[in-house]
Amino acid sequence: MGRIMNGKTMDKWASRFPLIRKIAAMDELLWLNPGYGRTPASIAVTAADVADAERRWVRFAPYIRKAFPETASANGLIESPLYSVPRMKEFLQASSSVPIPGRLMMKADSELPISGSIKARGGIYEVLKTAERLAIGCGLLKESDDYAVLADDSFKAFFSDYAIAVGSTGNLGLSIGIMAAKLGFHTTVHMSRDARQWKKDLLREKGAEVREYEADYSTAVEAGRRQAASNRRCHFIDDEHSKDLFVGYATAGDRLKKQFQKAGIAVDGGHPLFVFLPCGVGGAPGGVTFGLKQAFGENVHAFFVEPTHSPSFLLGLLTGLYDRVSVIDFGLDNRTAADGLAVPKTSAFAGKAAGHLISGCLTVCDRRLFQLQKGLADTERHWIEPSAAAGIAGPQMLLGTEFGKHYLHIHHLTEKTADATFLLWATGGGMVPQKIRAADYERASRI
Ligand SMILES: *Cc1c(COP(=O)(O)O)cnc(C)c1O
């Protein structure tokens, strides 16, 4: 009898899901989601939820603009640029034999204002929603008010009676910590052992309390959730269950649609859009995918990318067990330089709300992450963190692997790839200090 993994031997698992052997062996792979396009068992998020979120961002824009002057040029809207990356396309083609037809682009969430990562979408959104609920509930604010008043000292004093807490490997903590502390909340960030030191230092500097754990992400979240439960005035932002986070991410869909329109780039039946999203618990890529599906329907194809050491979303979706399965069960160590993706278990909420929208999942090894991160810096002068580089491996795995080609074939996309856009979602790296960038670059150069 072999080792028991989540109740079954490897032979039993592999007889149902042959790919599990490759996952356990930490091979890079592409998996096609058999549940893609299926009707979900229940509807967790609706288009109305996303529209409501977008209106909330608009209400808060005058406050954001005032509290974070760097957002003035965008009128207080937190959005990132969309870039064409032709030199990166050449780099990728030169370093592998797989040509990329069509256009290669990058959505630079690494340049999102305030916290420099995709977490600025969901994390900041949930903080704002919490603040609005409290202020309106106490009769201090109306939806028709100019929310710039929230920057007044009287509101800071009001929010200081309340607390916001979160568990994080880094970027979610940064987004929530910076925003919540700015509003005046007592803010606690519970950080896992993967969190990089500079993220902890920066948070403390911004006025948040940082609690450190010598354990993984799920453990830090669990500790935070427990401590927050004992304080009635504390709102715990739960990355493993939150609908608000998800909806905040989803507003990206319509924004991207407008950016494509403005750039004169078509996304339609003849011009498919392939999006590659780095994935941790699945909330950020799941929410973004939900928004993209609202915006582009069947013409967008979303693939999630995870480290070979932490394919938690892939395992959750493949087995149908979602958060009831951990990468640890399959002998993986969840150790990766992609700190933002180092999670052993997925979010059940994201899996259920977006599982049917995802075309497939891919895994990449850390070595490749460093090469891609450096390649992007060398060719396009865009700096992103290792987690954010995961998506860059996507186009060639789709175009060059047996399963990827099969996907293109069955969806009648093979002939359309020349007119397609391949979009790399560069999820973070904007806040990384210069010293750390230099060290990361140096490490990548040695590979
Ligand atoms: C958090 C994060 C992700 C993934 O988001 P999840 O919601 O955990 O799936 C991807 N890239 C970066 C840089 C992140 O910080």
Q: Does the Cβ of 123 fall within 6 Å of ligand 1? A: no
pLDDT tens digits for range 409-433: 999 999 999 999 999 999 999 999 9
Confidence (pTM): 0.97
Tell which one of 427, 431, 432, 440 to mutate to probe ligand 1, the residue whose CB is within 8 A of the most ligand atoms: 427
Residue 447, burial from CB neighbour count under 10 angstroms (0-12, 13-18, 19+): exposed
CATH 3.30.1330.40 fits 4-44+75-114+246-445, yes or no: no
Q: Which protein residue's CA is at the shortest distance from atom 15 of ligand 1?
A: 340
312 in contact with ligand 1, CB cutoff 6 A = no
- Tell me how far apart the alpha carbons of residues 31 and 47 are, in angstroms, rounded to a whole number: 28
**C-alpha 279 to ligand 1 mean position (Å):** 6
| Residue-wise pLDDT tens digits, 362-408 | 999 999 999 999 999 999 999 999 999 999 999 999 999 999 999 99
Residues of the chain with CATH 3.40.50.1100: 4-44+75-114+246-445, 119-241
Residue recorded with tokens 């959005």: 79
- Enter the DSSP assignment of 266: -
**pLDDT tens readout for residues 113-157:** 999 999 999 999 999 999 999 999 999 999 999 999 999 999 999
* Residue 9 CA to ligand 1 centre (angstroms): 31
Chain centroid to Cα 29, Å, comes to 20
Q: Mind listing the pLDDT tens digit for each residue in 179-210?
A: 999 999 999 999 988 788 998 999 999 999 99
The per-residue pLDDT for 211 is 94
**What is the structure's pLDDT at 239?**
87
Return the number of other C-beta atoms located less than 10 Å from residue 437's C-beta.
Answer: 15
Instruction: Work out the pLDDT band at 447, boundaries 50, 70, 90.
Output: confident
Task: Please state whether beta strands 4-5 and 358-364 pair in parallel, antiparallel, or not at all (unpaired).
Answer: unpaired
- DSSP assignment letter at 39: P
Q: How many A from CA of 286 to the centre of ligand 1?
A: 10
Domain at 119-241: CATH code: 3.40.50.1100
Mean pLDDT score across all residues of the chain: 95
Q: What is the pLDDT of residue 43?
A: 86
Burial classification of residue 20, based on how many CB atoms lie within 10 Å of its CB (0-12 exposed, 13-18 middle, 19 or more buried):
buried
By most ligand atoms within 8 Å of CB, the mutation choice from 387, 425, 432, 436 for ligand 1 is 387
Per-residue pLDDT at 258 = 98
